[in-house]
Structure 1
Amino acid sequence: MAKKKTLFPFVLITTLFFLWGFAHNLDPILIPHLQKSFTLTTVQATLVDSAVFAAYFLMALPAGFIMKKYGYKTGIIAGLLVFALGAFLFIPAADTQLYVFFLIALFIIACGLTMLETAANPYASSLGDPAYSTQRLNLAQSFNGLATTLAPVIGARVILTKGYTAAQLNAMTEEGRRLALATEAATVKMPYFVLGSVLVVIAVIFAFTRLPAIQTNGDHVAGKNIFHAFRHRHLRWGVVAQFFYVGAQVCVFSLFILYATKAAGITEVEAADYLGLCGFAFLIGRFVGTYLMQYINSARMLAVYAVLNTLLCMIAICGTGIMTVYTVIGICFFMSIMFPTIFALGIKELGGDTEFGSSLIIMSIVGGAILPRLFGYISDVTGNIQYGYIIPLVCFLVVAYFGFKGHRVKPGDEKLLLSTIL
């Protein structure tokens, strides 16, 4: 009976994972699109990621306060509506042809995503038997992987295939080039209008759906400030690990088209199709990982996957031709379980500190704003985008440490830190 009561809410929550996955995985299509439209360097193009992931840092704590005061349902509905507002802003952004307007729209979208992720991750984790929280969160995140597969393939055909080549643009007059870029910029209007409309509909569905309350451990009393949550050693390491993991993921996905076109010499549309394969590998990895966690400790699996990705990053740096593309597809497979596993291990046994702990881990997503910039800087300075994979390599080493040791709960360390802070 309890399972029946939680099934529909779990399905509804799972749609959120798909939606924010779809939004995030349109960004790799936007980066080459906007780079060409505004003649940007690789570092300048990564401002797309900076605008998105800076919002996670700025909005995570307000989102946590909203969940704590008004509940998860209110936070989810608010997140969906803010997400929709940002999507609708792509229409005036395309009309004005201002790069900064696109960045503002992406920032607002990410504010909505922050609210959704702050609510949905702990809610999905807690909606059922605590013994299966990591497995349940990986299952929900699998639909994020489905979006990772579909978004690049759909986005490339809606946005990239309607553009002009560099040669065509160079052959035009200044006025002709301006009009051509205006036409090209307009290709983003329809997909983001449709996305915004879907979000409004789902917000209405949530408004009329009764979501079961989730319970925290009554023996654990939450503090009045965020330091009370941050006293947990494993949470601190979870924040660090998530910072580096998200930075690695964004480097891999957002810069994939730029990487593949240069490292393997393929076209943008071909690269977008391979990016769809990356998403498919990510999706399959989530399902495989969720299944294997029935038999293998999730922390140990996280550590092993991180070590394998470190080795694959070495090939991505030194390899040549199409082999580099398949190497990155392999990285995506082994990345698949990392975000939800780090999240679930990081908020494990937090009790009443769960909301603030969730906010702290969501704040660490700011790694996606910072580390791709370093990737782009290395690429621009060396003239070889493959060298940028030094950044994900270091990131996976940090994740490996968290999986081997950093995830362990040590109550004695919590009391020591709390006495130091207070």
Structure 2
Amino acid sequence: MAGAHHGSGEHQRYGFAVSALTSLFFMWGFITCLNDILIPHLKNVFALNYTQAMLIQFCFFAAYFVVSIPAGTLIERIGYKWGMVVGLVTVAIGSFLFVPSASYQIYALYLGALFIMAAGVAILQVAANPYVTVLGRPQTASSRLTLTQAFNALGTTLAPWFGGYFILGGALTDPTLPQTGLSGPDTLKFPYLLLALLFAVLAVVFTLLKLPDMREQQERRAIANTQSMGSAWHFPHLVLGAIGIFTYVGAEVSVGSLLVNFLGEKHIAALPEAVAAYYVSIYWGGATVGRFIGFFVMRYVSAGKVLAFNAITAVALLLVTIIYSGHVAMWAVLAVGLFNSVMFPTIFSLAVKGLGRYTSQGSGILCLAIVGGAILPPLVGAMADTLGIQMAFSLPILCYLYIAFYGLKGSIPRH
């Protein structure tokens, strides 16, 4: 078995590599989730409707669609480590571009900066996700990816606190904001400049790190019947998994994007935006807790069953969110985060299982499917504009139903 004959020194090296990668998972979770705070902020500043405000998620996640396949090719050429360095530098540039965007106060400039940031994150995802799955034994790939993703979720939990304080808090304390609607641009300059510096430092750190090149390892892990197949597209469980990633990211991002405004509704909790931002942390915090639980549970229960259970529970919670009001609806929608927890890493690892030398191509395809985060939120935004914010949660329900099917049936490898 590949990986079994490596000495303990090799495993210690893997341990170090996984630890280094964990910092990346944390950081990209952080910046992705900051969008949930950026949406209500820019919605106010530019007087946008929900559909227009969701263009923030469209530009961010569209980058995955544009960049993921080229990123897969790039990483095959330069290796995982240098792929990660390129990704980090790209995110740093995108973050820095928020400074001129805030100075000129043009919505399109913000969207461009977000696209560049997300392009960097897409490169990081294409490199880091499969790298974690091949660092160690194939049997524990799902639980290992779930553990590193738990730190990704930790980033998403802390981001709303950070954004609530620096972005929405800044907007609230600015007495000129209600009159002009366009003041307080500096509330975005500081946090994004800080992020630009952090990513630049990480790029330097990763340039200096010695990480094992796992490309030969993947070749060795190739299964015999892979050789006769032309590409990763020939594996049905990968293609169905890509649809799973599409629906999952679309659903999770749509729900997260609406939370601040949903909790501000009079018949739900009537929370001011800066206060609602802290509750968004509970939604993402649930995902953190759930991933640590999932890491242990999936050592005993099959990943597919855990996935289906979580998806069905998410459906039930969203039904409660739509039907009820007040604190019942509020806590039901926040609890969805707990059950989102294991979905991404579980779908990802089930989908790349047995791809052998097509693993990096498969990873590119799965990261391409993250474009669900670009396509579904504007649709949900349009539903919020026309049918009201509660009914908009019905589209994510359909997404979770598909994920339940994938866990039980679609993820079974067939060649």
TM class, shorter-length: over 0.9
Could you list the per-position Cα deviations for residues 73-117 of structure 1 after superposition, in whole angstroms to 9, with x for gaps in the alignment? 111000000000000000000001000000000000000000000
> Quick check: 357-366 or 205-214, which moved more?
205-214
The answer to whether the aligner puts 1:394 opposite 2:398 as a matched pair is yes
2:253 is matched with 250
> 2:237 maps to what in 1?
234
Q: 1:264·1:324 contact (CA, 8 Å) conserved in 2?
A: no
Q: Which residue of 2 aligns with 1:281?
A: 286
What is the 5 A alignment of 1:317-332? Answer: 317-332=322-337
Equivalent position of 1:316 in the other structure: 321
Indicate the RMSD between aligned Cα atoms, in angstroms.
1.8
The counterpart of 1:366, out of the listed 364, 371, 379, is 371
Structure 2 segments unaligned to the other structure (5+ residues): 1-7
1:200-251 superposed Cα distances (whole Å, 9 cap, x missing partner): 11111111111112211245587899x6111101001000111000000101
Shift of 1:181: 2.1
Equivalent AA in structure 2 for residue 316 of structure 1: T
Counterpart secondary structure, 2:92: helix
Q: How does 1:213-224 map to 2 (within 5 A)?
A: 213-214=213-214, 215-216=217-218, 217-219=221-223
C-alpha distance after superposition, 1:362-417 (max 9, x if no partner): 000100011111111111112x2010101110000010010010001011xxxxxx
> How far apart, in 2, do the equivalents of 1:60 and 1:224 lie?
25
Does the alignment pair 1:385 with 2:389?
yes
Secondary structure of 1:163 counterpart: helix
Distance 2:109 2:227 in 1: 40
Q: Do the aligned partners of 2:252 and 2:340 also contact (CA within 8 Å) in 1?
A: yes
* Cα separation, partners in 2 of 1:166 and 1:153, compared to 1, 3 Å: closer
Aligned AA (1:235): L
Task: Sort the Cα spacing of 1:7 and 1:163 in 2 relative to 1 into closer, same or farther, 3 A.
Answer: same
Residue pair 1:153, 1:276 contacting (<8 A) in 2 also? yes
Q: Match of 2:72, as an amino acid? A: G
Whether contact under 8 Å (2:317, 2:336) holds in the other structure is: yes
Equivalent pairs, count? 401
Structure 1 counterpart of 2:353, from 342, 348, 355: 348
CA distance in 1, matches of 2:262, 2:156: 18
Q: Tell me if structure 2 keeps the 8 A contact 1:221–1:352.
A: no
Q: Report the Cα distance in structure 2 between the residues aligned to 1:258 and 1:223, rounded to whole angstroms.
A: 51
Amino acid at match of 2:401: L
- The code of the aligned residue for 1:35 comes to K
2:137 to 108, 124, 129: 129
From 148, 160, 177, the equivalent of 1:140 is: 148
> Residues 12, 246 of structure 1: CA spacing in aligned structure 2 closer, same or farther, 3 A cutoff?
same
2: CA distance between counterparts of 1:221 and 1:403?
24
**Alpha-carbon offset, residue 338 of structure 1:** 0.1
With normalisation by structure 2, the TM-score equals 0.93
Preserved contact between residue 26 and residue 151 of structure 1 (Cα < 8 Å)? yes
Q: For 2:390, what is the secondary structure of its paired residue?
A: helix
Call closer, same or farther: CA 1:321–1:219 in 2, change over 3 Å: closer
Counterpart of 1:260, as a letter, is L
Question: How far apart are the structure 1 equivalents of 2:374 and 2:292?
Answer: 28
Structure 1, unpaired ranges of 5+: 412-422
- CA distance in 2 between counterparts of 1:117 and 1:220 reads 27
Letter in 1 for 2:281: G
SS at match of 1:110: helix
1:335 equivalenced with 2:340 (yes/no): yes
What is the aligned-residue identity percentage?
39
1:103 to 103, 111, 127: 111
Q: Which moved more, 1:254-263 or 1:29-38?
A: 254-263
- 2:68 maps to which residue? 60
Distance in 2 between residues matched to 1:252 and 1:110, nearest whole Å: 19
Q: For the residues of structure 2 that align with 1:334 and 1:381, how far apart are their CA atoms? A: 28
Q: Secondary structure at the match of 1:256?
A: helix
In structure 2, how many angstroms separate the alpha carbons of the residues matched to 1:60 and 1:222? 22
Superposition deviation, residue 124 in structure 1: 0.9
- Give the equivalent residue in structure 1 for 2:43: 35
Which amino acid in the other structure matches residue 185 of structure 2?
A: A
Q: Does 1:407 align with 2:415?
A: no
CA distance in 2, matches of 1:409, 1:129: 19
Could you tell me how far apart the structure 1 residues matched to 2:225 and 2:106 are?
49
- Cα distance change on mapping 1:231 and 1:361 into 2, 3 Å: same
Q: Which residue number corresponds to residue 202 of structure 2?
A: 202
Question: 1:265 is matched with which residue?
Answer: 270
Distance of 2:75 and 2:333 partners within structure 1: 37
Q: Is the 8 A contact 1:274 1:325 kept in 2?
A: no
The residue number in structure 1 matching 2:187 is: 187
Aligned counterpart in structure 1 of residue 86 of structure 2, from 73, 78, 92: 78
Indicate if the aligned counterparts of 2:222 and 2:355 stay in contact, CA closer than 8 A: no
Q: Please give the alpha-carbon distance, in whole angstroms, between the structure 2 residues aligned to 1:345 and 1:43.
A: 34
SS of 2:300's partner is coil
CA distance in 2, matches of 1:223, 1:97: 54
